[in-house]
């Protein structure tokens, strides 16, 4: 169990806000913090990591107190068992992939973990390359591996996938889920993408102006409020085409395109770029095995 | 999509499925959902819900005599408008519960010889109706 209670006055573009949160996270959960920029998401991770001072607060991670402002306890960043991945990869450009990983190794720590991570995150073919010879997705895989070298209790990901294209993003999501499960990590993710939140997280916290306004399972928070249909996805309208007396609407869901029919009166309320929920009843879709 | 406000009149649950009866005006609609009053708090007798179904799922039968058919949801009405396309056509029907829009093949309109002002029965399968709070 991880208990996080933090208060801090933040200066944002739209004026001062008071960040005031109180969350309990179960060990092994993947929890997403979702909200507009300037809502205080990154500040929460930085305070967790000890990179930003809280005005008042308490962080207890698996019975170890990392922060208790009333008792004057505040562990240094290196004493907190965390792995951090940022949007910009922050790799050492003059070192190879393997050297980047070795650099994160603690004194007297077994080197076995490096080979293990290279294996899990499939960096074998890349291990002797320098970062400049890597694609964005590959760099982020290295950054993910490096964040795990010290076997953290909490993995923190600050919009790690926002600079990647959809295909790469889906692949990285799978790697993150894989290590999250394999190392029984408690993972905190910041994300702007509803489809990503739904795919990745056990719990989502929606943060507005420094406060958590909603918390729960992502499906419950983002979807079932609207319709009872169990075959339900969120996506974005990319194309609308008139066909006879009806319209064919193409919707991008993750990396897949689906087409659905809409009627003239519905189309008046829809335009390209709109975020939509596509729903059908669980009784309709066919399931067929692929060979 | 067609949507109508109603009140939950009855709930039958078995395992994780529930058969919900919703009263819309004077007509009772039935839908089956993978929810129970335990998993969805809005499933409570007397609660207001909206029933939703797609235009392409509306079935048309000539006349207002109740046909003997497995479709549970039926409401009678009068055709207000027919927009005919090459393959598909849109029907606007004034029914007991309000205007229902149906999209059917143009061939079926020809075969049934449907016309504006005709009295017909609209039908929707219980597996095609979704609920919204």
The complex's ipTM works out to: 0.81
Question: Using 50, 70 and 90 to split pLDDT, how confident is the model at A86?
Answer: confident
Find out whether B129 and B86 touch, Cβ atoms under 8 Å: no
Q: Among all chains, which residue has been given the structure tokens 């499939």?
A: A122
Mean pLDDT of chain B: 94
Per-residue model confidence as pLDDT tens digits over A156-207: 999 888 878 878 888 889 999 999 999 999 999 998 887 788 889 999 999 9
Query: Given B89, B127, B132, which is nearest A283 (Cβ)?
Result: B127
Searching chain A, which residue's CA lies closest to the CA of residue B49?
Answer: A227
H or E element, residue A106: none
Query: Given A261, A263, A279, which is nearest B101 (Cβ)?
Result: A263
Find out whether A191 and A159 touch, Cβ atoms under 8 Å: yes
Burial A250-274 (b: 16+ CB within 10 A, else e): bbeebeeeeeeebbeebeeeeeeee
**Tokens of residue A96, six digits:** 């190879």
B87 and A CB contact within 8 Å: yes
Lowest mean pLDDT among A51-65, A136-150, A269-283: A269-283
Edge-to-edge strand ranges of the sheet holding A15-25: A15-25, A2-12, A56-61, A64-68, A73-74
For range A241-257, the mean pLDDT: 90
Residues 38 through 67 of chain B touching chain A, CB cutoff 8 Å: 40, 52, 54-56
A112 and B CB contact within 8 Å: no
Find out whether A206 and A215 touch, Cβ atoms under 8 Å: yes
**Tokens of residue B90, six digits:** 């849109």
Residue A225 has pLDDT above 70, yes or no: no
Length of chain A: 291
Question: Which of A236, A77, A55 lies closest to A154 in space, CA to CA?
Answer: A77
pLDDT value, residue A162: 83
Chain B residue numbers touching A244 (CB-CB < 8 A) = 85-88
Find out whether B95 and B77 touch, Cβ atoms under 8 Å: yes
pTM of the predicted model as reported, rounded to 2 decimal places: 0.61
Find out whether A172 and A141 touch, Cβ atoms under 8 Å: yes
Length of chain B: 133
Per-residue model confidence as pLDDT tens digits over B67-88: 889 999 999 999 999 999 999 9
Find out whether A80 and A143 touch, Cβ atoms under 8 Å: no
Question: Using 50, 70 and 90 to split pLDDT, how confident is the model at A224?
Answer: low
pLDDT value, residue A116: 92
Mean pLDDT of chain A: 89
pLDDT value, residue A226: 66
User: CB A223: neighbour CB atoms within 10 A?
Assistant: 19
Residues 205 through 224 of chain A touching chain B, CB cutoff 8 Å: 224
Helix, coil or strand: residue A24: strand
Chain B residue numbers touching A269 (CB-CB < 8 A) = none
């Amino acid at each position: 169990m991880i208990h996080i209670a933090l208060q801090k006055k933040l200066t944002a573009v739209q004026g001062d806000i008071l960040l005031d949160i109180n969350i309990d996270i179960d060990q092994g959960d993947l929890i997403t913090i979702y909200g507009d920029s300037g809502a205080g998401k990154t500040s929460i991770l930085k305070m967790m990591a000890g990179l930003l001072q809280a005005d008042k607060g308490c962080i207890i991670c698996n019975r170890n107190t990392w922060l208790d402002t009333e008792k004057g306890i505040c562990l240094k960043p290196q004493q907190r068992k965390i792995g951090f991945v940022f949007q910009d990869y922050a790799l050492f450009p003059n070192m190879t992939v393997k050297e980047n990983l070795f650099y994160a190794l603690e004194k007297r720590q077994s080197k076995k973990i490096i080979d293990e991570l290279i294996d899990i995150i499939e960096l074998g073919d890349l291990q002797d390359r320098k970062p400049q010879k890597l694609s964005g997705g590959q760099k982020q895989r290295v950054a993910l591996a490096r964040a795990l070298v010290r076997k953290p209790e909490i993995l923190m990901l600050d919009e790690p996938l926002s600079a990647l294209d959809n295909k790469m993003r889906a692949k990285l999501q799978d790697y993150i889920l894989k290590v999250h499960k394999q190392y029984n990590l408690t993972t905190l993710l910041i994300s702007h993408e509803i489809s990503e939140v739904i795919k990745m997280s056990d719990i989502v916290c929606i943060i507005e102006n420094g406060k958590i306004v909603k918390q729960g399972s992502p499906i419950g928070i983002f979807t079932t409020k609207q319709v009872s249909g169990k075959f339900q996805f969120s996506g974005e309208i990319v194309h609308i085409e008139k066909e006879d007396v009806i319209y064919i609407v193409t919707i991008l869901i993750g990396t897949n395109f689906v087409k659905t029919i809409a009627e003239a009166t519905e189309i008046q309320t829809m335009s390209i770029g709109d975020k939509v929920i596509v729903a059908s009843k669980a009784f309709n879709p066919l399931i067929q095995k692929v060979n | 999509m067609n949507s109508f406000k109603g009140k939950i009149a009855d709930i039958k649950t078995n395992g994780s499925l529930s058969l919900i009866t919703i009263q819309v005006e004077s007509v009772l609609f039935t839908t089956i959902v993978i929810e129970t009053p335990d998993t969805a708090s809005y499933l409570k007798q007397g609660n207001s819900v909206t029933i939703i179904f797609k235009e392409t799922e509306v079935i048309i039968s000539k006349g207002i005599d109740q046909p003997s058919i497995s479709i549970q949801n039926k409401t009678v009405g009068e055709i207000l408008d027919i927009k005919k396309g090459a393959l598909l056509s849109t029907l606007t029907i004034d029914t007991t519960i309000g205007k229902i829009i149906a999209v059917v093949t143009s061939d079926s309109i020809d075969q049934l010889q449907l016309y504006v002002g005709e009295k017909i029965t609209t039908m929707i399968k219980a597996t095609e109706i979704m609920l919204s709070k």
